[in-house]
Amino acid sequence: MYAIVGLGNPGKEYENTKHNLGFITVDLLAERHGIKVVKLKHKALTGDGVIRGEKVKLVKPQTYMNLSGECVSPLTSYFGIGRDELIVIYDDVDIPMGSVRVRPGGSSGTHNGMKSVIYHLGNDDFPRVRIGIGADRGQIPLYGWVTSGFSSEHLDAIREAVGRAADAVEEIVSNGVIAAMNKYNG
């Protein structure tokens, strides 16, 4: 079984912000595959289903971004999900707005949610899908940038990126992370 974890913040005020692109991507996957993400378990909203013939658990942590590891670690332990069966989706200021990058593992970069996940898991050896939100924020502090919505000029690029991120997750589930990297990193 795969655990597909979209990082984000719970609550209406964060619903359509840059920091919630992980949640938004999980919502798209849920819609595509008829999965209801409504069960509260291990500090997360979860939903069980099938993507491309594989059992999956879609996960939206309810711990707030910086504490995401407090949800992911117990959940993966409880369900016996290995590192290669965990896929984390999140926003990334370190790559250009609207870009998608798939990685088999590695550091958290500047992302505090990923720092928490890596810390609580005790390793960084699991696939992730990063959605670029860019770093050109002018005078806006990082927190203000990631918790703000999208300008009209970025909406189309973000919608397309979320679709590509969902496609990349489906590719990881069916053909592995290397195949997804070859297809979606470019």
State the DSSP code for 51.
E
- DSSP code string of 74-133: HHHHHHT--GGGEEEEEEETTS-TT-EEEESS---TT-HHHHHHHHHHT---S-EEEEE-
Q: What is the pLDDT of residue 151?
A: 85
- CA distances for 47 relative to 7, 11, 32, angstroms: 15, 18, 13
Q: Which residues pair with 56 in a beta bridge?
A: 2, 49
pLDDT in single tens digits along all 186 residues of the chain:
999 999 999 999 999 999 999 999 999 999 999 999 999 999 999 999 999 999 999 999 999 999 999 999 999 999 999 999 999 999 999 999 999 999 999 999 889 999 999 999 999 999 999 999 987 656 778 778 888 888 888 899 999 999 999 999 999 999 999 999 999 997
Dihedral angle computed from the Cα positions of residues 81, 64, 27 and 47, in that order, rounded to the nearest 10 degrees? 40
Over the range 98-110, which residues count as b (16 or more CB within 10 Å of their CB) and which as e? bbbbbbbeeebee
State the DSSP code for 20.
G
Q: How far is 36 from 33, CA to CA, in rounded Å?
A: 9
Q: What is the pLDDT of residue 136?
A: 65
Helix (H) or strand (E) holding 49: strand 44-51
* pTM of this structure: 0.95
Number of helices (H), then strands (E), in the chain: 6, 7
Domains, in order of start, for the chain: 2-184 (3.40.50.1470)
Residues tagged active-site: 19
Packing angle between helix 112-121 and helix 69-79, nearest 10 degrees? 40
Q: Are 177 and 105 in contact (CB under 8 A)?
A: no
